[in-house]
Structure 1
Amino acid sequence: MTAERRRLPFAVTLATGTSLANHTGAWRTERPVYRNLRAPCGDACPAEEDVQGWLYRAEEGEYEAAWRLLMAENPFPAIMGRVCYHPCETACNRGQVDEAVGINAVERFLGDRAIKQGWTMPVEAAPTGRRVLVVGAGPAGLAAAYHLRLLGHEVTVADAAERPGGMMRYGIPAYRLPRDVLDAEIDRVARMGVTFELGHPVTDLDAEREAYDAVFLAIGAQIGKRAYIPAGESPRLLDALAVLRSVAEDEPVRLGRRVVVYGGGNTAMDAARTARRLGATEAVVVYRRTRERMPAHESEVAEALDEGVQIRWLSTISAAAGEAIVLERMELDDTGFPRPTGQFETLAADSVVLAVGQDVDRTLIAALPETDGAVAVDEAFMTATPGVFAGGDMVPSERTCTVAVGHGKRAARRIHAWLTGIQPASGPKPPIADIERLNTWYYTEAPHQMRPRLETARRIGTFDEVVGGLDAETALFEARRCMSCGNCFECDNCYGMCPDNAIVKLGPGKGFAIDLDYCKGCGICAAECPAGAIAMIEEET
């Protein structure tokens, strides 16, 4: 082969030794770029937590830093770690590998640890001189008060009840949410400088708002809907919310030994499980659709069944007579709507507890336009009255504590913008890191840690908490199951795999950079990134 021929193929013109002697970047047709995608867990969170962000800190054992990042969005991690139905876990990509990360369990661990350690949230914003009235001390109102206070506003929370918490106190039984946990997280909000006016029903909104620059309405849906049951001499008819409230206030409740609960939501499950704890030997839930169409969360249904609650699906109460009720069998039509069949049976009952839905008391807000039985608000949670905002159960939405907390946060930031003229930052959101963007072969199977539960035999007759929490060891393990979907977690795979030493480490917590003088665009780094945090884009010509 001649000398001229030897100079043509690149393979024989490269210098020997380290690859840094060869500037291979000129060969590139594509270049790798690091990207930050939206993790599906955070995208599914009604409170819009940076789930992946605080899990990352928790897996490093930086529990206080994780808690503070969590608290930037949600002021009640110990509460939500107990009562939230964790849609984040339903969306978790890890669930397609083995089991979803126990996000809710780690959140509770951080919340409980904060209570034990006495961690607090300082108000660092300068006082704005603006005053905001929050009507309602439930999850939406308390969350709004917390975020408004962090933004420097003076906040007063008014509530007709003698104690704050709303449905968290008077609707969720203590076996799901211990009152010392509820009190500790609300007390933290009070210590931030929020003023509480309890036992103070707001009856004249126009008069009350004269002393304030803005109002946030978070009354909640605390009026039980009624159901017509033809009856002469009938069992006692009770409202589920009234029963749960009486139990929460340590008032005597007499349900009898045979209790029927009419409804299929979470309140119905709570009422039936409470009846068992009050001494009912039979607690029967009557629901007109199937289990698959039941609005109650699956975990609530499962725990009710574990505790001996019976459920009559595809049934409705058609009448009550003496110490019994008459059930009619239902069937679903092609649209899923229940239709009567004309088949009847009699069921003994000392009392019937109605749990067929809840309404908002519109006495205070009668003048405000409504939609679907709720207060009409715009995208900023403002009602038709300037300066009056509303959220939580009062507006069209799913009625859960976590949704209410999310409303309170977003409304607070909109109220702040309305008061100050400073609009919240916004921009296009990056795409969600779905499972197809990840390299899941790097993740070994590691099923999630189970939270301890009170033995079924010990639950009846006590309102002790049923579901326990993780300890530090299991919480750390659970946090480390996070796959960091769509975001670099500095595993060094790209650095170790690059054949041209084109990956530059910027230091702990700073990630990596691409040295384009040497990157030839082979794509190995993108192919070997477990989290899918590297994309190949076409090189500009």
Structure 2
Amino acid sequence: MNKPFAITLNPGSSLANRTGSWRTERPVYVDRLPPCNNQCPAGEDIQGWLFHAESGNYEKAWQHLTKDNPFPAIMGRVCYHTCEGACNRAKLDEAVGINSVERFLGDEAIKRGWKLVVPTAETGKHILIVGAGPSGMSAAYHLRRLGHRVTVYEAGPMLGGMMRFGIPKYRLPRDVLDAEMQRVIDLGVEVKLNAKVDNILETMQTGKFDAAFLAVGAHIGKRATIPAGAVSKIVDAVSVLRSMEHEDKPMLGRRVVVYGGGNTAIDVARTAKRMGAEPIIVYRRTRDKMPAHDFEVEEALQEGVMIKWLSTIKHAGDSSITVEKMELDANGFPQPTGEFETLEADSVVLALGQDVDLGLLNGVPGLEVTDGVVKVDANMMTGHAGIFAGGDMVPTERNITVAVGHGKKAARHIDAWLKGEKYEAPAKHQLATFERLNTWYYSDAPKTVRPMLDVIRRQSTFEEVQGGLDETNALFEARRCLSCGNCFECDNCYGVCPDNAVIKLGPGKRFEFNYDYCKGCGLCVAECPCGAINMEPENI
């Protein structure tokens, strides 16, 4: 048998000399926390499922992914993938296309009919979920997999919450949404549609529920005080987007002014464009201050949406609006200039944020509501025992990934509470930093560019704008992962050890050190590509 290329000593002499007695430090295999995992609001083990994906075992990758997130096809489309912003590979060339691979796995699961594991052991406990949006359905999924009986009450006629009523079809096709919602139901989750909960305590008592998770979405559009004529048509963005799910589409006219600067403003303007309107977004600050994601703004501009920066609406008439030009002061805050302009407008759509309907909480003792959201403790439980809350209902950043993470977190705490226990999250490993990597071991691999629908079709149809990966480039993209901080069995330590002190334990089992023969030279640490070995002081 040929010796590994970097072994320079005679194995027999090495073993006989027991060089381990010379050491002052010893190498130790460690697992560090990849920055992508650390960044993910849904708590995904991103590096874990990428490991399976890069070997071509897509179903195993999907099963690993769905331990934390039941909606990879949805999240692969609408998540803003902050994990990629934290990716160490971005400092080498470009971040790994984590979101693209996640979408590919989700789409493969739908296409191939992959199934989730149905729980076999039943706890006998019954949990109420209020709201069938991302947070509620995530909680339902995780609670069901823990063996609890789950019933979801949804005030609307369809599943999905703000995923359906707040995200246009060109970003999230409804067949994808329906497929991943149905998968949760197939686990044995009961759903009651058109079932608004008016009083949470009465509903819990009537249904004999042991606990409840409140996940009502922010469906109420905020209003602004705009002087307007009697026949002025002023509507809110959430109502416009919600009405797109029904047969009676909103009648906005041809000249549509959207007031606001968030992602919802962009969504409703792009929707109006596809309906044949000529939308103009009026926003009181500059582009760099706009809360909407820049790529969304750029796509809107490509599609012909006009944006009037540094402007605010002062008056709305029956066929026009008056806007006042603004300027930023020394602190970056917009100030009026006294200069006015008239814009033709058939309708004004307000996209100024959303509120949650908290009427179901009236009369519940112990609850604390501040600024339109419910206060919860570290366990996501409200001030009333057994009632938990998450998503838009609690103080947090409002996006789908955060909501899905809340559902998982709440499920774990509800499960522990029902058992009379307290859930303790495992301690996090030390972060795997770029400086610990030996990047010269990794080959150049430019990021895969996903296809985009051409602009002409984007202006007139609701076809999906962003394309996905196929099996070939999904495999390539997954293999761009550097496996930061976690051994992927590259054999470098085994190959470079001069004393045969590294023992291979077999595929998937990694390695261990034989300290009788390790002299603590640190060569294995210096040559580990992913920074998964540490030198520690010798215990004397």
Q: TM-score, normalised by structure 2?
A: 0.95
- Cα deviation per residue 1:14-33 (whole Å; 9 max; x = unaligned)? 99975333321111111111
Instruction: Report the alpha carbon displacement of residue 322 of structure 1 after superposing the two structures with TM.
Output: 4.0
Structure 1 position 343 matched with structure 2 position 339: yes
What does residue 81 of structure 1 align with? 76
Matches within 5 A, 1:317-332: 317-332=313-328
What does residue 502 of structure 1 align with? 501
SS for the counterpart of 1:248 is: coil
What does residue 469 of structure 1 align with? 468
What does residue 295 of structure 2 align with? 299
CA pair 331-24 structure 1, distance change in 2 beyond 3 A: same
Structure 1 position 270 matched with structure 2 position 267: yes
- Please tell me whether the aligned partners of residues 199 and 361 of structure 2 are also in contact (alpha carbons under 8 angstroms): no
Structure 1 position 159 matched with structure 2 position 154: yes
* Higher mean C-alpha deviation, range 397-406 or range 227-236: 227-236
Instruction: Report the alpha carbon displacement of residue 207 of structure 1 after superposing the two structures with TM.
Output: 1.2
Q: Counterparts of 2:514 and 2:172 in 1: how far apart (Å)?
A: 53
From 283, 286, 297, the counterpart of 1:290: 286
Amino acid at match of 2:314: S
Amino acid at match of 1:388: I
From 348, 351, 358, the counterpart of 1:355: 351
SS for the counterpart of 2:396 is: coil
Quote the RMSD (CA, aligned, Å).
Answer: 1.5
Structure 1 position 251 matched with structure 2 position 227: no
SS for the counterpart of 2:31 is: coil
Structure 1 position 310 matched with structure 2 position 319: no
Instruction: Report the alpha carbon displacement of residue 443 of structure 1 after superposing the two structures with TM.
Output: 2.1
Q: Counterparts of 1:15 and 1:268 in 2: how far apart (Å)?
A: 70
Q: Counterparts of 1:150 and 1:16 in 2: how far apart (Å)?
A: 51
Matches within 5 A, 1:386-465: 386-465=385-464
- Please tell me whether the aligned partners of residues 139 and 166 of structure 1 are also in contact (alpha carbons under 8 angstroms): yes
Q: Counterparts of 1:51 and 1:189 in 2: how far apart (Å)?
A: 21
Q: Counterparts of 1:264 and 1:15 in 2: how far apart (Å)?
A: 69
- Please tell me whether the aligned partners of residues 504 and 511 of structure 2 are also in contact (alpha carbons under 8 angstroms): yes
From 86, 99, 102, the counterpart of 2:97: 102
CA pair 341-144 structure 1, distance change in 2 beyond 3 A: same
What does residue 148 of structure 1 align with? 143
SS for the counterpart of 1:460 is: helix
- Cα deviation per residue 1:77-112 (whole Å; 9 max; x = unaligned)? 010000000011111111111110000010011011
Q: Counterparts of 2:83 and 2:180 in 1: how far apart (Å)?
A: 22
What does residue 4 of structure 2 align with? none
- Please tell me whether the aligned partners of residues 234 and 320 of structure 1 are also in contact (alpha carbons under 8 angstroms): no
Structure 1 position 227 matched with structure 2 position 224: yes
Structure 1 position 176 matched with structure 2 position 180: no
Q: TM-score, normalised by structure 1?
A: 0.95
What does residue 69 of structure 1 align with? 64
Q: Percent identity?
A: 63
What does residue 11 of structure 1 align with? none
CA pair 376-264 structure 1, distance change in 2 beyond 3 A: same
SS for the counterpart of 1:32 is: strand
Q: Counterparts of 2:266 and 2:523 in 1: how far apart (Å)?
A: 53
Q: Counterparts of 2:362 and 2:455 in 1: how far apart (Å)?
A: 46
Instruction: Report the alpha carbon displacement of residue 331 of structure 1 after superposing the two structures with TM.
Output: 2.3
Instruction: Report the alpha carbon displacement of residue 424 of structure 1 after superposing the two structures with TM.
Output: 3.0
From 13, 37, 55, the counterpart of 2:50: 55
- Cα deviation per residue 1:277-311 (whole Å; 9 max; x = unaligned)? 0101x211111122122111122111111111111
Amino acid at match of 1:460: Q
Q: Counterparts of 1:194 and 1:15 in 2: how far apart (Å)?
A: 63
- Cα deviation per residue 1:323-343 (whole Å; 9 max; x = unaligned)? 221221222333332222222
Amino acid at match of 1:302: E
- Please tell me whether the aligned partners of residues 270 and 305 of structure 2 are also in contact (alpha carbons under 8 angstroms): yes
From 233, 238, 254, the counterpart of 2:235: 238
- Please tell me whether the aligned partners of residues 391 and 403 of structure 2 are also in contact (alpha carbons under 8 angstroms): yes
Amino acid at match of 2:324: E
Amino acid at match of 2:24: T
Q: Counterparts of 1:40 and 1:106 in 2: how far apart (Å)?
A: 17
What does residue 93 of structure 1 align with? 88
- Please tell me whether the aligned partners of residues 15 and 517 of structure 2 are also in contact (alpha carbons under 8 angstroms): yes
- Cα deviation per residue 1:257-282 (whole Å; 9 max; x = unaligned)? 111100111110100000000101x2
Q: Counterparts of 1:490 and 1:425 in 2: how far apart (Å)?
A: 31
Aligned residues: 527
Q: Counterparts of 1:492 and 1:313 in 2: how far apart (Å)?
A: 56
* Higher mean C-alpha deviation, range 361-370 or range 217-226: 361-370
Amino acid at match of 1:142: M
SS for the counterpart of 1:20 is: helix
Structure 1 position 28 matched with structure 2 position 23: yes
CA pair 166-426 structure 1, distance change in 2 beyond 3 A: closer
Q: Counterparts of 1:496 and 1:112 in 2: how far apart (Å)?
A: 40
CA pair 337-346 structure 1, distance change in 2 beyond 3 A: same
Instruction: Report the alpha carbon displacement of residue 235 of structure 1 after superposing the two structures with TM.
Output: 4.1
- Please tell me whether the aligned partners of residues 173 and 248 of structure 1 are also in contact (alpha carbons under 8 angstroms): no
Q: Counterparts of 1:540 and 1:17 in 2: how far apart (Å)?
A: 27
Q: Counterparts of 1:514 and 1:405 in 2: how far apart (Å)?
A: 41
Instruction: Report the alpha carbon displacement of residue 126 of structure 1 after superposing the two structures with TM.
Output: 1.1
Amino acid at match of 2:302: D
Amino acid at match of 1:20: L
- Please tell me whether the aligned partners of residues 125 and 151 of structure 1 are also in contact (alpha carbons under 8 angstroms): no
Amino acid at match of 2:91: Q
5+ unaligned residues in a row in structure 1: which ranges? 1-13
Q: Counterparts of 2:295 and 2:54 in 1: how far apart (Å)?
A: 27
Instruction: Report the alpha carbon displacement of residue 124 of structure 1 after superposing the two structures with TM.
Output: 2.7
- Please tell me whether the aligned partners of residues 235 and 349 of structure 1 are also in contact (alpha carbons under 8 angstroms): no
What does residue 200 of structure 1 align with? 195
- Cα deviation per residue 1:102-127 (whole Å; 9 max; x = unaligned)? 00010011011111111111223511
- Cα deviation per residue 1:316-371 (whole Å; 9 max; x = unaligned)? 11112342212212223333322222222222111111000000012112343212
CA pair 143-16 structure 1, distance change in 2 beyond 3 A: closer
Instruction: Report the alpha carbon displacement of residue 225 of structure 1 after superposing the two structures with TM.
Output: 0.1
CA pair 521-274 structure 1, distance change in 2 beyond 3 A: same
Amino acid at match of 1:209: M
Instruction: Report the alpha carbon displacement of residue 205 of structure 1 after superposing the two structures with TM.
Output: 1.6
